[in-house]
Chains A and B, each alone.
Chain A
Amino acid sequence: MSQYCTFWVGELYIGIEVSRVQEVLSHGAITPVPLAPAHIKGMINLRGHIVTAIDMGLRLHVGPVGSADGTMMHVVLKDDQGLVSLVVDRAGDVVEVDREMYEDPPDTLQGEARRLIRGAFKLEGRLLLDVDIDYAVAISE
């Protein structure tokens, strides 16, 4: 059993290992970065640290986040390169998942989506996507 922090990007229900997530914040002031790739939403001030915010909607090719009702959340991740914030539509609960519930994506999933989505946990009623977050935040298109 492991714990996943979940969030929605458009219709996609995505999970990240809880240990990767530093904190979840509500959306605040964001400074856009002119000339940056479109999915770089901008930079935020997180208690004195400057954190790049990535529009996960654009990154996952489902349209910009916040398009439904304008609300957004930041899921802040910490890795050896520092902090990065995933801007998502809405944050979900922390769920417990089991390796047994996991399945690789079908071969019909192609292209960039195939690189991003490593697999899915078959939860009751819906699928929780296991996204390769390192790939998602490392590649600037």
Chain B
Amino acid sequence: MSGMDAIIKEFLAESAENLDQMDQDLVVLEKDPANQEVFSRIFRAIHTIKGTCGFLAFGKLEAVTHSGENLLSHLRDGTLELSPKVTTMMLSMVDAVRKLLSAIEKTGGEGDGDYSELIADLERLDEEAGEKKKDDPKADDTSSTMRSSRIELVSEASEDAKETETLTDPKAASKKKSPSKRRKKKESQAIVDAPLEQSDGGGADAGDIDGDHDQEITAPTTSSLGESSLRVDVHVLDHLMNLVGELVLARNQILRLSEGIDDQQFEVASTRLHSVTTDLQEAVMRTRMQPISLLWKKLPRFVRDLSQQFGKKVDIQMEGQDTELDKAVIEAIQGSLLHLVRNSLDHGIETPEFRRKNGKPAIGILRLKAHHEGGNVLIEVSDDGGGIDNEAVLKRGLEAGLVSEAEAGSLDPKQIRALIFQPGFSTARRVTNVSGRGVGLDIVRNNIEAIGGSVEIHSEPGQSTSFRLKIPLTLAIIPVLLVAIRGQRFAIPQLSVVELVRFDDQSGGLGIEDLNGVPVYRLRGHLLPLLYLDEELGLTDSPKPAGGPVNIVVLQGDDRRFGLIVDRIEDSQEIVVKPLGRLIEALPYAGSTILGEGAVALILDVLRLGLKAGVVSEARTHQAAPDEEAAISGGGERRMLLYLMGPADERMAVDFSAVDRLEFIPASKIESVADLPVVQYRDEILQLVWVDQTLPERRIKVRKITDDPDLDSLQIVVCTVDGLRVGLIVYRILDIIDQSMTVTRPASREGIETCVVVEERVTEIIDLRSLIRLSDPGFFERGMKPSPGGG
């Protein structure tokens, strides 16, 4: 590559970034015309492009940017108001520049586009402003002079930068400039590929030869990240990463060798090598991460253009701009994200008139959110528009032949909504040039699924629509907990880890208990279902380490907690998530990683593990399928229930959140205080409630539990209600279930909150307060608090 080519390439890359920034800045400036910082940045950007293309002899480009710059200088002098018209004009100027640049990139020339009309338009505005200037002496007042003097400095700096970039020998360019200053200026225009250190850049340079200058110049850009960074080719980073990988292996060999050598100096040196290598590895891995704002910053301009086109008013809100993703992932989702935004603006948000008529604010809100969750990045694109009209969707699905009449009747809301992801679907009443051509959402879904993610829609008709993208963190760095089971190490994303519990099973404590075949552990009064990691992974062949304490990793899987029993908890580390190798996608792993010493470790997918084992709600077989569907699509509340059987084989349930413990006590231990049954329980007197005897009689006459000769120990469910502890005497505990509350019937009798269908059985959910009152009307008033030591 010749020197000139390199300069042009650099110019193109830099200008593209400047233009992106300008798009964003112009939209900001339109809302906040007094924002000097943003204004200076726009001015500087356009000036830089103009200056450089003049040098590179791109005449057309120079002409376009020149008229743009003129317009800007009138804005600066206050002779021109920044109206939407002017902003639009400036944006079309940016587009023209972009077009020219892409022509230069492809052909090396400026192409045959004709920009004279645009230039004429720009000049017309310019002349209007110029005339105004003559009439308006105010333009020369102090404030505007000050303002312009600052911008002069800025443009001077840009000139310098241009100069130093275009000359091969920086010293020849300007001997009096210190190298650090030259570097600084150049950097101030580069964009972040590799965020290094920030913030102290401006201050450190203030003491430079012409420090005052510098500070003035750099101050407006301190917030733009631009300054302490430089551009690096991604391939260089990839290469660097592989080299570091090799270095790690070499270091490991050295460390192994050092064990056999009794030389302290050598040991010190190899330890140092070890720590430096580790840090280096981490640092290099981080360089590939970029904040999602890199992608989002294009959106304000995009939204402005589209909302004008559709005659809509839209405000864009963003949350979680700093969420970091691997560069490759950002690139992969870019198109899909733009499509969803476009979709929201076109189909979601209604026109201002329509919104006002329906009692909504005229300005629609488009909200973008991003955050890390359980080894994934969740990106949400939501709007407060019309929502998805299921009937319209179904109708369109029928028209497009995506479903048959026969099928249509049996579709549930979730299945109907899934139709919009079908190829060939479009509900738009009219086909716009932006969206509604029947391609789009299906492609979005394909693209997201291709990188291992998923798309979900949530919609409330008339209120909102939100698309939730779940993107795997391929290559992202996440903190994990390393655990060992049967000699193999696994990583668990820290985000899923709630706490670690360790106890000695031999010490005579309660330890792991069996609840109808399900191992549980009592964690601060709540039952935690447990999974043995070795069993879940089918690792039972290799020998189990003998004895030792029990280690439980308490995990959060969706809305449910469960404990994972492992042999050993090693340590917590930050790791780089790598894709799983091929052929092993369907297993409960979220990815793989290379640990410090070069070994490969699998990252457990906590949710999938819980689903597989049935401790996380969606996979539970207890629920009738339609309930589950409704619950997932947001239709029903879910509750954890302790599922009980009565003496006449009837089904009842207690809200599990109130349950502290499950105990057995012999019937002989029950004493009577003022005609109320109580039992001495853990240094306190626990009042008891006979569930079956307390509930009002139903038509079926039930046997009383105490009549049953087989029962020498009673099953007690210890609950806390309004801070008071009470024991329910129940016939039998069947299970702990997660139940959707969609299919309910009103209570059949007093003491019952509601009825639901669980496993095709009508189940009464006990209303604890009312049940206790039935048994002992004064219970809550007396406030028989459990003694503090009773826990």
Which residues of A come within 8 Å of B, CB atoms?
29, 31-37, 40, 42-45, 47-52, 54, 81-82, 84, 137, 140
Contacts and interface: CB of A to CB of B under 8 A. Distances in A.
Contacts of B602: 31, 33, 43
A16 B278 CA distance: 39
Contacts of A54: 583
A52 B585 CA distance: 12
B241 A48 contact: yes
B578 interface: yes
Given A48-B245, A84-B582, A43 B600 contact: yes
20 contacts: A33-B589, A33-B602, A34-B488, A34-B539, A35-B587, A36-B584, A40-B583, A42-B600, A43-B592, A44-B600, A45-B594, A47-B242, A47-B246, A48-B244, A48-B594, A49-B578, A50-B580, A52-B580, A81-B582, A137-B583
B575 to A, nearest CB: 12
Contacts of A42: 600
Contact of B592 (A47, A50, A84): A50
Contacts of B539: 34
A81 B244 CA distance: 24
B581 A52 contact: yes
B245 A52 contact: no
Contact of B537 (A29, A35, A48, A140): A35
Contacts of A40: 583-584
B450 interface: no
A50 B245 contact: no
Contact of B588 (A35, A45, A52, A81): A35
B538 A29 contact: no
A65 B186 CA distance: 58
Contacts, number: 75
Given A31-B601, A31-B602, A34-B537, A52 B583 contact: yes
Interface string B485-512: 0001000000000000000000000000
A33 B580 CA distance: 10
B78 interface: no
Contacts of A29: 598-600
Interface string B568-606: 000000000011111110011100101000111110000
Contacts of A36: 583-584, 587
Contacts of B245: 45, 47-48
Interface in B236-252: 241-242, 244-246
Given A31-B599, A33-B602, A35-B538, A50 B582 contact: no
Nearest to A35: B587
A137 B583 CA distance: 8
Interface string B137-180: 00000000000000000000000000000000000000000000
A50 B578 contact: yes
B242 A45 contact: no
B67 to A, nearest CB: 48
Given A48-B594, A140-B584, 8 more contacts: A29-B599, A34-B539, A42-B600, A43-B592, A48-B245, A50-B579, A82-B581, A137-B582
A48 B588 CA distance: 23
Given A34-B539, A50-B578, A45 B583 contact: no
A32 B599 contact: no
Contact of A32 (B488, B580, B587): B488
A34 B594 CA distance: 17
A31 B488 contact: yes
Nearest to A51: B581
Interface string B596-635: 0011111000000000000000000000000000000000
B544 to A, nearest CB: 15
A73 B317 CA distance: 55
A35 B538 CA distance: 6
A29 B256 CA distance: 15
A37 to B, nearest CB: 7
A49 B594 CA distance: 9
A47 B599 CA distance: 11
A72 to B, nearest CB: 17
Q: Nearest 6 CB-CB pairs, A to B?
A: A52-B581, A48-B245, A34-B537, A31-B600, A140-B583, A43-B600
Nearest to A139: B583
A40 B16 CA distance: 46
Contacts of A33: 584, 587, 589, 602
B592 A34 contact: no
Contacts of A35: 537-538, 587-588
Interface string B391-430: 0000000000000000000000000000000000000000
Contacts of A47: 242, 245-246
A66 to B, nearest CB: 18
B131 to A, nearest CB: 63
Contact of A45 (B579, B584, B598): B598
Nearest to A140: B583
A93 B537 CA distance: 39
Given A31-B601, A35-B588, A43-B600, A84 B537 contact: no
Contacts of B582: 52, 81-82, 84, 137
B397 to A, nearest CB: 34
A47 B539 CA distance: 28
B584 A52 contact: yes
Given A50-B579, A51-B581, A45 B537 contact: no
Nearest to B602: A33
Nearest to A39: B583
Nearest to A30: B600
A37 B579 CA distance: 18
A29 B597 CA distance: 11
Contact of A48 (B242, B538, B601): B242
Nearest to B579: A50
A50 B600 contact: yes
A137 B589 CA distance: 20
Contacts of B589: 33
B781 to A, nearest CB: 56
Nearest to A32: B488
Contact of A37 (B241, B583, B598, B600): B583
Residue with the highest number of chain B CB atoms closer than 10 Å, among A35, A42, A81: A35
Given A31-B488, A35-B588, A45 B581 contact: no
A36 B585 CA distance: 9
A50 B582 CA distance: 10
Contact of A84 (B242, B581, B598, B600): B581
A50 B584 contact: no
Contacts of B599: 29, 31, 45
A45 B539 CA distance: 22
B472 to A, nearest CB: 14
A62 B584 CA distance: 22
A43 B601 CA distance: 9
A121 to B, nearest CB: 28
Interface centre among A35, A45, A82, A137 (most CB of B within 10 A): A45
